[in-house]
Structure 1
Amino acid sequence: MKLSSLLAAAGIYLFSQFSLGDTIIKGADIGWLSEMEDNGYQFYNDAGVQQDVLQTLKQHDMSAVRLRVWVNPPGGYYNGLDDVIAKANRAKAAGMKVMIDFHYSDSWADPGQQTKPAAWVNLDFQSLMDTLWAYTRNSLITLRDAGITPDWVQVGNETNNGMLWPDGQASSNMRNYAWLTATGYNAVKDVFPNTPVIVHLANCHDNANFRWIFDGLSANGGKFDIIGASSYPVHAPNHTWQSANTACLNNLNDMVSRYGAPVMITEVGVPWDHAEAKAIVADVVNKVRSVNNGMGLGIFYWEPQAYGGWKGYTLGAFDNNGRPTAALDAFLDPDGGASGSARLQSRRSSKCIDVPGANQTSGTGLIQYTCHSNPNQQWTMENVSGNYMRLKAGHSGQCMDIASQSTANSVRIVQASCSSGNRQQWLKEDMGGGYFRLKNRYSGKCVDVNGASMANEAILIQYACGSGMNQQWVEY
C-alpha cells in the first residue's frame, strides 16, 4: 500500500503514533511467560535477585511486549484470549506497550504451517472472511472491555506464503490472501481506528519474498500500516550473521522506498550461549535504527525469558539459571541513545543516584540513597554525539555535571543547568551482566561512590575508572 494511499485512507494522525525519527521501540515476545511461571520457572535480574521478568526486561531498555493469540489453543488456555488479556494487563501495569499478534490458527502459524482453526475448516471463502472479521473484532472488543488498547495489531504471523491455507495460500490465490488481510485490517480499525496494523513475514534477508508478498497485497486490495519482519541471523541459509544483517537492512530500506511504509523487526533471536550473541543482536538493533528516513520503528526479541531447555528452545536470552545473558544486554543502548527515564542503581550498595531533598538548585551535589519512585531519582538519557549522552534529572530538568572544570580525582558530581559542555557528557561502558560505568567526556573519569560506602547520603565523585562495584550501575 503506497504512502499516499495510506494517508488518504487513514489520515495523517496515524503516523504521529509511529514516532518516526525518535528512539526505536524495544521489546520482547513473552507468549510463553505465564505457562513457564505455572511450571515453576523463576526469573532473576543481573545481580541474581529474583524478580518479575517484566522488570528485568525494563532494566534492559525494553518498553513493550508482543503477545500471540490462538483461536482455540491446545489445552484451552495458554495463548488463548483469557491468557493474553492477563499478560496484557500485567504489561500495561508495568508501563509497557502491547502488540497483539493474531496467528489465525489454533497453534503455531509460520512459513511452514498456516493451518486453519479446526472450527473454520469447512467454511467457504466468504464465510471464512466473515468469521475472520467477527473473530478479530470480537477479540479486540474483549480486550478493550478489559482495559487494553493495543499499541499495534498484527494480522497473521510470518505469512511468507499467505495464511489460512489452502484458501489464503498466496502461491495459489494471492487475491484471497490479500482479501483476508484486508478483512483483518478493517476489523482492527473498526474497534481501534488509530492502532497501526502490521503484516509480518519471516526471513528479513529474503527481499524477493517480501517484494512478492507486498506487491501482491498492493495489487489485490491488501491493507497494512507497518511491515514486520523476523530476523534469526545465525540461521539464515547461505549467510554469515553479518551478511544476513546487511541483507535485512537492505530489504527494510527497500520496503520503505517501495511501499512507503515504516518497518519493524517483530522477532529476533540468537542462541543464548553464542559467543557473539551480544554483537549480533546489537547489530540488528543498530540496523533498525539506521533505516532510511527514521522509518525503522522497533525491534522485539522472541521469547527472551525461555531458558533451561523450555520446550527445546535455545534462542532465548536468559541463561540456564534464569539470569539475563549478553544477548539481552544488546538492548542497553551501547551507542548512548535515549532510553527514557530510569533509576541508576549501584552494584555495590544497591542504592540509587539521588538529588538530595529533590533540590532544584544548580550545583547540588549528588548522593546515593535507598531507591524509591520519586523523580529526583529518575534520569533521562539524551543523545549528544560520539556515543555520549547527557543524564537529566526528572524533578529539576538539570543535568549530571562535574562540580568544576577539573580532571582531578574526588571532584563532586552535581546537577547543573543543561549545556553542550563535555563535562555533562557521559559514556556507558559495558561491565558485563547489564552493569556499566559512567565515564565523563571531559575528565575521562568515572562516577564513583566515595569510599565504596554502603550508607545513605554517601557522596558521588569522579574518580579514575576501575573495575570496582562502586563504579558500576544498572538501570532500575
Structure 2
Amino acid sequence: MSGHLRKLGLGLIASLMASTAAVAAEPAKGPKTYLGVDISYANEMDDCGAVYRSGDKTVEQYQFFKDAGSNIARIRLWNDPQWTNYSNIADVTKSIKRAKAAGLQVLLDFHYSDDWADGDKQLAPKAWEKLSTPDQAKALYAFTYDTLTKLDAQGLMPDLVQVGNETNGEIVSSLAKAKDPINWERNALLFNAGIKAVRDAGAKGSKNPRVMLHIAQPDTVEDWFAAAAKAGVTDYDMIGISYYSKWSKRSMAQLGESINRLRHTYAADVVVVETSYPFTTEGADSSPNLLGEDSLIAGYPATQEGQKKYLIDLTQLVFASGGTGVFYWEPAWVSTKCKTRWGTGSNWENSTLFDFKGQPVEGIKWLSTTYAMPVETTFRVAAGDKASAFIDGDFLGGAGPRPMVREGSDFVYRTRLMPGASVTVATAPTAAAVEAASAVTATISAKPSAVRLPAQP
C-alpha cells in the first residue's frame, strides 16, 4: 500500500467506525509478557562476598527482583568452561533452583561454547572442534536434550530456551571464520538440531519450553531471520534482540520499527532479551567500565533518573511496537574483591541496578511501572468468491502485504495495536493488487475489537 492510495469518503468512514464499535472480536488473550533479569553472575557474586540491601535489610538477588516486579530470570550455560567454576551445568542447576524458589520463570541460554558466544564470535566447544558438521549437529542435539532431560528430572525444566546466544555469525565456529559469510546449509543443520532437541525433550518432559533465537542488535536482525527462513530455520517461538546503543547504529525508534516488522513477518513473539544503561560513568574499582560516555543516548544522562527513564521508555516502546518483553543484563554484577580475566572487580558496576553501596537504584522502578499495552485487533473482509486476500497498512511498518486467513465467510488478519491509533488499511485478492486498492482509515478501540473492511472488488 502506498501513499497515493485513494481514501474512502468521510461518510463511509464514519459508517465503518460505527460498525467497528458494534462488532465484538472473538475472545482473545494477549501474549505472555516478560520483564526479565539476567543474573547469571549471582552465585559467583555471593562467593565473592557481594552484599545487596534494600534499606537496612540484606536481600537475596532472585527474590529481590521477583518482589520488584520481574517475572523471569535468564541464565547462561557454557558447555565445558574449564577457565571458571560458573555457568557450567552444576552452577546453572543451582541458579535455576534459586529462580524457581523465588517464583520466577526461567530462560536458559545455551551459548554452545566453552566461553562467551556473542555477535563477534561463536567458538565451538573444544570437544566439538574437530568433528564433522553432521557430528557437531549430533553433539549439539545430545548436549541440549541431555541437559534439559537432567534438569527436568529435578523439576527444573526451563520455561524458555535460547538455541544459541547472539548468533549473528555461524554457530559452533572459530575466530578464523568469525567474519566469513554464513554457510546457511551448515548453520541451519546445527540450529535445527538444537531446536529439535528442545522440542523432543519437551515432548517427553513435564513442559514444552518455548524456543528463542537471539541476534545482537537490530541492525542485522531482519536480514538474519530472512536468511534463516530461506534456509529452513522456522520452528521457533520467539525472536530475541540485544540492544545496546554503544554497539548499534539504530536509534530506539528504529528498534521499535524493526520489532513491528518482525512480529508481522514471523509467527513469533519479539523481545529485547538484553539491554543495559549506566546510572553513572564513575567506577567503584580499577576494572574498566564497558558502558561509559560512548553508551549514552541524548535525553538519557548517566544518572539514576536517566537510567530509569531509558528503561521505562524502551519498555513502553517495545510493547507499543508489538514486542512482548525486556530483559536487563546484568543488574547484579557489582564490584567485589574477586579477580576476573579483565581485572579486579566488575566491568559493569556502573550499569547494575544497585549502587556502589549495594542499595537499589531508581532504575529498579522500571519493573513495577504500569505500561500502556496494545489490544487485540481483528481486520475482517467478506470473502465472496475470492480464493485469497492480502492486507497492507501503515501499521505493518513496511513489512509488505500479509496474507489473510479464511474463517467461514470472511478473511481475517489478527494483530495487536495501540488504543487510539489511527491506521490506514487496504485489502485485495493478491499481494500485487493491494497497492492500487482503496484504503480505509480506522481508529483502534480501547478494547479488543474487529474492524470490518469493505468487500474486495
Same fold (TM over 0.5): yes
5+ residue gaps, structure 2:
1-27, 281-301, 337-344, 374-418, 421-457
1:105–1:115 Cα contact (<8 Å) kept: yes
Query: What is the identity, as a one-letter code, of the residue corresponding to 1:182?
Result: N
Q: Secondary structure at the match of 1:300?
A: strand
Does 2:320 align with 1:315? no
Shift of 1:213: 1.2
Q: 2:186 aligned with 1:176, yes or no?
A: yes
State yes or no: 1:98 paired with 2:140. no
1:27 to 2:36 alignment: yes
CA distance in 1, matches of 2:100, 2:318: 25
Indicate the residue corresponding to 1:247 in structure 2. 254
Q: CA RMSD in A?
A: 2.3
User: How far off is 1:336 after superposition?
Assistant: 8.0
8 Å Cα contact 1:25-1:63 kept in structure 2:
yes
Q: What is residue 269 of structure 2 aligned with on the other side?
A: 262
Asked if 2 retains the 8 angstrom alpha-carbon contact of 1:272 and 1:318, the reply is no
Tell me how far apart the structure 1 counterparts of residues 269 and 73 of structure 2 sit (CA, whole Å). Answer: 19
Could you tell me how far apart the structure 2 residues matched to 1:195 and 1:20 are? 19
| 3-state secondary structure, aligned to 1:133 | helix
Counterpart secondary structure, 1:305: coil
The structure whose RCO (Cα within 8 Å, separation 6+) is larger is 2
Q: Distance in 2 between matches of 1:127 and 1:94?
A: 39
SS of structure 1 residue aligned to 2:58: coil
Determine if contact 2:275/2:328 at 8 Å carries over to the other structure.
yes
Q: Which residue of 2 aligns with 1:129?
A: 137
1:27: how far off?
1.4
Give the C-alpha shift of residue 190 in structure 1.
0.5
Instruction: Choose from 238, 244, 260 the match for 1:232.
Output: 244
1:366-405 matches, within 5 Å, as: none
Corresponding residue of 2:363: 327
1:289 equivalent in alignment to 2:297: no
Structure 1 residue runs of 4+, over 2 Å off? 19-24, 74-77, 166-170, 236-239, 308-311, 334-337
Measure, in 2, the Cα distance between the counterparts of 1:227 and 1:316: 25
Q: CA 1:312 to 1:150, structure 2 compared with 1: closer, same or farther past 3 Å?
A: same
- Secondary structure at 1:311's aligned position in 2? coil
User: Structure 1 CA distance, aligned partners of 2:192 and 2:178?
Assistant: 12
8 Å Cα contact 1:74/1:107 also seen in 2: no
Aligned residues: 309
Q: 1:217 and 2:228 equivalent?
A: yes
1:43 Cα deviation from its structure 2 partner = 0.9
Q: Closer, same or farther in 2 for the Cα pair 1:232/1:327, shift >3 Å?
A: farther
Contact 1:162–1:169 under 8 Å retained in 2: no
| Aligned match of 2:210 | 196
Aligned-pair identity (%): 30
The AA in structure 2 aligned to 1:174 is W
For residues 209-267 of structure 1, give each alpha carbon's deviation from its aligned partner in whole angstroms, at most 9, with x where no partner exists: 1122111111112132210011123x14456xxxx211111111111122232111111
Aligned partners of 2:32 and 2:140: how far apart in 1? 35
Q: Are residues 1:279 and 2:289 paired? A: no
Return the offset for 1:121.
0.8
1:440-464, Cα deviation, whole Å (9 max, x unpaired):
xxxxxxxxxxxxxxxxxxxxxxxxx
Partner of 1:360: none
Which residue of the other structure, out of 154, 165, 168, is the alignment partner of 1:146? 154
Aligned to 1:300: 327
2:122 corresponds to 1:114: yes
1:163 corresponds to: 171
Report the residue type matching 2:186 in the other structure: N
Q: Give the superposition deviation at 1:308.
A: 2.4
CA contact (8 A) 2:62 2:99 kept: yes
Query: How far did 1:297 drift?
Result: 2.1
Q: Contact 1:104 / 1:156 at 8 angstroms: preserved in 2?
A: yes
Shift of 1:21: 2.5
Secondary structure at 2:37's aligned position in 1? strand
SS at match of 1:324: coil
Q: 1:132 to 1:238 in 2, by over 3 A?
A: closer
What aligned pairs does 1:43-82 form with structure 2 within 5 A after superposition?
A: 43-45=52-54, 47-75=55-83, 77-82=85-90
Evaluate the alpha carbon distance shift between residue 23 and residue 198 of structure 1 in structure 2; reply closer, same or farther with a 3 A threshold.
closer
Structure 1 residues 48 and 160, CA gap change in structure 2 (3 angstroms): farther
Change (3 A) 1:221 1:238: closer
Q: Is the 8 A contact 2:76 2:87 kept in 1?
A: yes
Amino acid at match of 2:119: P
Name the CA distance, whole Å, in 1 between partners of 2:88 and 2:241: 23
Counterparts in 2 of 1:236 and 1:112: CA distance versus 1, 3 Å: closer
SS of 1:249 mapped into structure 2: helix
